[in-house]
Amino acid sequence: MKKILIALCLLAGTVLSQANVVGGDISLLPNYEAKGAKYYDMKWKVIPQLLPWFKDQGWNAMRVRLFVDPSKAPADEIGQGVCQDLEYVKTLGARIKAAGFKFMLDFHYSDSWADPAKQYTPDAWKDLTDEQLYTTIYEYTRDCLQALAEAGATPDYIQTGNEISYGMLWGPRGTAISQLKKFNTGNSANDARFLKLLSQAAKACREVCPDAKIIIHTELVRNITMMNNYYRAIASADYDIIGLSYYPYYHYGLNMLDSAIRNIELNFPSKEVMIVEAGFYHDWQPTSGINFDYSTKADSYGNTYAISAEGQRAFTAALVAKLLEHECVTGLFWWWPEANEKGVDWQNPVTQSGWYNAGLWNNDNGRVLPALFELAAFAPAITGDVDGDGKVDVTDVNAVINIILKTKAQTDYPGQADVDGDGKVDVVDVNAIINLILKV
């Protein structure tokens, strides 16, 4: 044991590798649960608690959106699922962290959906000057993060804005001023304003959550020139990860996504990349042929993907395979995977609109769809990661020692403690992890 302790001293701070993160944006899960949605696995067994079940399927991260005051959103957008205020996110975020997931927080900095077409200033901030907004975004970000940390929901990843390809906080909805505050590459009029907003948000993140990684999220996959110009224009911003949305019916085939990532690798080599939103329909597409219809058009592999459960699965498998070709891509999140109306009163649905149909459960019978199981391949388990924190380091050595000394049980750890596979946990497994860390 003395040799092991010496080795632990030598290995302190050493990390072998980091795991990819994979999961979904589950911002509506509490509402589905409250309204009685029935989730079934492939064998038609009831899934009593979705979060631990997701963990068993190899998912290790979850994303949740946050609005400033969703009660001020238009009625039709509330009907689409806009309800995530700070109290809601504190509760859901704490559940996510307690279940052992990484937690991605998605600030919308709006009372409702913020995306390339709309980045409207929250109602409570509508009369503020730009100088006042700089202070407000800092204080709001800081206060939200402090409240989350106190609730046991400290984020591991923070998006300072959602799909902010044209900036954010344009002004009140439906006003002329809301068209004058956009950030546009090639027009520097609002560069300083946008960069100051990003800087103030990032400042709060670094102060309250210094271990979290900051994400700047766009949806520019199908416009690579604009994407490159955008991230060059914000080169002075403080962030760690380029976050991308990728929906093939908006952003075209996997060849387009591949080209976008290759451009990032070439032009922004210091940045990680995460696909923070992805999805594909399993039953019907709201508008046939919307931009790029995989039921009729081939992707870069010459494949078509039917709008069906099998088509969704095949697309997801191809997406994961493509992303694994790029070491810079470290995260993949399916958007709204928990969508499932089985068991929900049709007169009192979770959402009032049938505008999206790309969840990972069959809405008619509640059975999980096969695409869900393809996603885990993006984040394979790491040999030697006994404590399940996504890396192999001295804490995994300690975990095995705790099991050997019977201060902890194997069941206390999500990873495989029998590293060498000989059917027992002993000093050989300790040495195996040390060898992994030392790469010998």
Residue range 67-120, pLDDT digits in tens: 999 999 999 999 999 999 999 999 999 999 999 999 999 999 999 999 999 999
Question: Which pLDDT score, from 0 to 100, does residue 205 have?
Answer: 98
Per-residue confidence band for 160, with pLDDT thresholds at 50, 70 and 90: very high
Share of the chain above pLDDT 90, in %: 71
Q: Mean pLDDT throughout 57-69?
A: 98
Residue 369 is classified by DSSP as: P
pLDDT at 18: 64
- Locate the domains of the chain by residue range: 1-17+381-440, 20-373
Q: Strand runs (DSSP E) across 190-319, as ranges?
A: 213-218, 241-246, 272-278
Question: Sign (positive/negative) of CA torsion 281, 284, 285, 288?
Answer: positive
In this structure, what is the dihedral angle of CA atoms 255, 259, 261, 266, given to the nearest 10 degrees?
160
What is the mean predicted confidence (pLDDT) over 354-379?
95
Identify the pLDDT of residue 340. 96
What is the DSSP annotation of 373-393?
Answer: HHHGGGSPPPTT-TT-SSEEE
pLDDT bucket at 148, cuts 50 / 70 / 90: very high
User: How high is the pLDDT of residue 175?
Assistant: 87
Strand 391-393 relative to strand 15-18: parallel, antiparallel, unpaired? antiparallel
Grouping H, G, I as helix, E, B as strand and the rest as coil, residue 102 is strand
CATH topology for 20-373?
TIM Barrel (3.20.20)
Least confident of 260-264, 349-353, 380-384, 405-409: 380-384
Question: How many Å apart are CA 176 and CA 270, to the nearest integer?
Answer: 39
Q: Which has the minimum average pLDDT: 7-16, 224-233, 328-337, 363-372?
A: 7-16
Fold match, 1-17+381-440 / 20-373: no
On the question of pLDDT at 367 being above 60, the answer is yes
Range 1-17+381-440 has CATH code 1.10.1330 = yes
- Which amino acid type is present at position 324? L
Q: Is the pLDDT of residue 315 over 90?
A: yes
> Using 50, 70 and 90 to split pLDDT, how confident is the model at 225?
very high
Choose the weakest-confidence range: 199-213, 241-255, 353-367, 387-401: 387-401
pLDDT of 311 strictly over 60: yes
Per-residue pLDDT reduced to its tens digit, 1-30: 545 554 555 555 555 556 899 999 999 999
List pLDDT tens digits, range 232-252. Answer: 999 999 999 999 999 998 898
Confidence of residue 304 (pLDDT cuts 50, 70, 90): confident
Which sign does the torsion angle of CA 47, 52, 55, 60 carry? positive
Say whether pLDDT at 435 is over 90: no
31 band by pLDDT with thresholds 50, 70 and 90: very high
Confidence band for 299, pLDDT divided at 50, 70 and 90: confident
Paired with 335 in beta bridges are 25
Give the whole-angstrom CA distance, residue 194 versus residue 133.
11
Confidence of residue 138 (pLDDT cuts 50, 70, 90): very high
Q: Look at residue 52 in the predicted model and tell me its pLDDT.
A: 97
SS3 at position 138: helix
Would the pLDDT of 287 be above 70? no
Average the pLDDT over 136-161 and give the result.
Answer: 98
Q: Is 304 exposed, middle or buried (0-12, 13-18, 19+ CB in 10 A)?
A: middle
From residue 231, alpha-carbon distances to 218, 243, 386 in Å are: 10, 11, 38
Percent of the chain whose predicted confidence (pLDDT) is above 70: 93
Residues 6 or more apart whose Cβ sits within 8 Å of residue 6: none
Entry field: residues in the chain: 440
Strand ranges (DSSP E) for 67-188?
102-107, 157-160
